[in-house]
Amino acid sequence: MGAVPPDPDATPIVVLVSGSGTNLQALIDAADDPAYGVRIAAVGADRHDIEALARAERHGIETFVLRTADFADRSAWDAALADEVARHGPALVVLAGFMKLAGAQFLERFGGRTVNTHPALSPAFPGMHAPADALAHGVKVTGATLFVVDAGVDTGPIVAQVAVPVLPDDDVESLHERIKSSERGMLVEWVGRLARDGFTVDGRHVISPRKDPA
Ligand code: GAR
């Protein structure tokens, strides 16, 4: 996979979203501080009328929408997504609640520099319903995982994880909200580190030069 070099100025990122955008909002707030080292060059979505896009627009960040339904097939959509993301020149692409899989053409151009946040402790509970799957399985601890996107479903090399307890009275919503409140901190911390320090991927391992001891 590729490498993201350190950037002396704010590192441009593109964030892809599909929903409420609380993770995006955390990145927007962090990027307001120049010391964070990240500039959100654009926010892209696979659907209109979502709060995540409204958050970007309120902050004056350029947005774009590419709906799969508007393309002949998934591969045409995937190529258009890669073109649109490339137009904004990101060093790093962040999937923050983006409910589509990046396809082969996207990964050809952005593999090794695209990260995704997933609401479970990988490799447990990949897919779209991780909090519900964790609850149904009866686990007592779940969490969130930031990983470098590969061709699988939530299978890529792990950047960081945060653990969250499952409480006896949890339903899917309360559990997902608890995960998200820890997930946002993890995302902000690690997107900042990856952007400021750069990183390489060696097999299953993500190596960032100034990674602190765990
Ligand atoms: C987050 O929990 C994210 O991990 C999850 O969607 C939520 C988005 O919340 N993503 C996935 O499940 C992707 N498979 P947000 O829109 O409030 O940031």
| End-to-end CA separation in angstroms for the chain | 24
Probe ligand 1: pick from 17, 18, 23, max atoms within 8 Å of CB? 23
Domain-ending residue, one of 62, 80, 110: 110
- Residue 91 and residue 83 in contact, taking contact as beta carbons nearer than 8 Å: no
Q: Is residue 30 within 8 Å of 114, Cβ to Cβ? A: no
Structural domains in the chain (count): 2
Placement of tokens 């990856």 in the chain: 194
Residues 60 and 153 in one domain: no
Contact 20, 52 (CB under 8 A): yes
pLDDT at 7: 58
CA distance 135 to 149: 25
Return the amino acid letter for 120.
Answer: A
Residues 157 and 100 in one domain: no
Identify whether residues 35 and 69 lie together within a single domain.
Answer: yes
DSSP letter string over 136-185?
Answer: HHT-SEEEEEEEE--SSSS-SPEEEEEEEEPPTT--HHHHHHHHHHHHHH
Catalytic, 118? Answer: yes
Dihedral sign for Cα atoms in the order 46, 146, 84, 21? positive
What pLDDT tens digit does each residue of the chain (214 aa) get?
446 665 558 999 999 999 999 999 999 999 999 999 999 999 999 999 999 999 999 999 999 999 999 999 999 999 999 999 999 999 999 999 999 999 999 999 999 999 999 999 999 999 999 999 999 999 999 999 999 999 999 999 999 999 999 999 999 999 999 999 999 999 999 999 999 999 999 999 999 887 554 4
The pTM assigned to this predicted structure is 0.94
In terms of domains, do 86 and 145 share one? no
Shortest-distance atom of ligand 1 to CA 129? 12
> Last residue of some domain: 68, 94, 110?
110
Looking up tokens 């979203």, which residue turns up?
17
Atom of ligand 1 nearest to the CA of 22: 17
Which ligand 1 atom is at minimum distance from the Cα of 179? 2
Residue ranges making up the domain that contains 90: 8-110
Beta bridge partners of 16: 44, 95
Q: Quick check: is 3 in a domain?
A: no
* Residue at a domain's end among 68, 95, 110: 110
Which residues does a 6 A CB cutoff place in the pocket of ligand 1? 19-24, 52, 96-97, 99, 117-119, 128, 130, 180, 183
